[in-house]
């Protein structure tokens, strides 16, 4: 029945399946190339073996070598074409996967932004800024001392501090002025200019006698 309505549509391979198929083909051709190289070496050895002794056999070996070399050249060209096709397919597959990943990322980004717009973003940022200012004001209010003697005048406090400093300075000056000074040893009261010690009563009696003599001398 499918033939009545046309040729059955062939299933298209995925890029990965096509790449794997090309790699399998490359591996098969490489093995065949190695086999041909081995056979060419054998034919060269046969031609050398017969040489001029069996010219016919040597020529047949060289002819087979020529056919093998032609096949080897064809295989090398086929390998080059397949390698080029595989690399192009791999690059296309990579680009496809990258494009798919970028499309998924773009859809996810669009989905993330669908419930917001630039005006909402500005409103949110303004609200955050406002709340930060309120939080700062609250912190300042909490850290400010209230009801703990903060009503005192600063000038009055400075004047009181100066008085205390002046009192301390006066106290230090008094301590320096009233400090005890070592007394020098007093000279003996009974010491005379000549160094002889004479009792005080004897010195007084001698002065009176001198005065009496002076009076008598004046009267006479």
Res 170: pLDDT? 86
- Which structure tokens are listed for 181? 């000074």
* DSSP string covering the chain: -GGGGSPPPPPPPPHHHHHHHHHHHHHHHHHHHHHHHHHHHHHHHHHHHHTTTTHHHHHHHHHHHHHHHHHHHHHHHHHHHHHHHHHHHHHHHHHHHHHHHHHHHHHHHHHHHTT--HHHHHHHHHHHHHHHHHHHHHHHHHHS--SSSTTS-HHHHHHHHHHHHHHHHHHHHHHHHTS--PPPPPPPTT--TTS----HHHHHHHHHHHHHHHHHHHH-
Res 98: pLDDT? 92
Res 194: pLDDT? 46
Per-residue pLDDT of the chain (220 residues; tens, 9 = 90+): 454 555 566 678 888 889 999 999 999 999 999 999 999 999 999 999 888 788 899 999 999 999 999 999 999 999 999 999 999 999 998 998 999 999 999 988 888 878 777 888 888 899 999 999 999 989 888 887 665 555 567 788 788 888 888 888 888 888 876 555 455 455 554 444 444 444 545 555 556 777 767 766 665 5
Res 174: pLDDT? 84
Res 13: pLDDT? 80
Q: Can you tell me the distance from the alpha carbon of 4 to that of 9, in angstroms, rounded to the nearest whole number?
A: 13
pTM: 0.45
Domains of the chain: 13-113 (1.10.287.1060)
Angle of the 15-50 helix axis to the 55-113 helix axis, nearest 10 = 160
Res 117: pLDDT? 79
């Amino acid at each position: 029945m499918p033939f009545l309505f046309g040729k059955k549509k062939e299933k298209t391979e995925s890029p990965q399946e096509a790449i794997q198929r090309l790699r399998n083909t490359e591996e098969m051709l490489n093995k065949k190339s190695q086999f041909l190289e081995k056979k060419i070496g054998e034919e060269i050895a046969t031609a050398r073996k017969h040489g001029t002794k069996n010219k016919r056999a040597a020529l047949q070996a060289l002819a087979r070598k020529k056919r093998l070399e032609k096949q080897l050249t064809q295989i090398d060209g086929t390998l080059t074409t397949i390698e080029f096709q595989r690399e192009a397919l791999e690059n296309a597959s990579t680009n496809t996967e990258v494009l798919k990943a970028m499309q998924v990322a773009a859809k996810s980004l669009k989905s993330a932004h669908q419930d917001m717009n630039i005006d909402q973003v500005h409103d949110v940022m303004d609200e955050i800024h406002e709340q930060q200012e309120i939080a700062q004001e609250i912190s300042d209010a909490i850290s400010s001392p209230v009801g703990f003697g903060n009503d005192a005048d600063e000038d009055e406090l400075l004047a009181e501090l100066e008085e205390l400093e002046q009192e301390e300075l006066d106290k230090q000056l008094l301590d320096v002025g009233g400090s005890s000074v070592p007394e020098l040893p007093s000279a003996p009261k009974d010491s005379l200019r000549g160094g002889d010690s004479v009792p005080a009563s004897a010195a007084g009696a001698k002065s009176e006698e001198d005065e009496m003599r002076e009076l008598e001398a004046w009267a006479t």
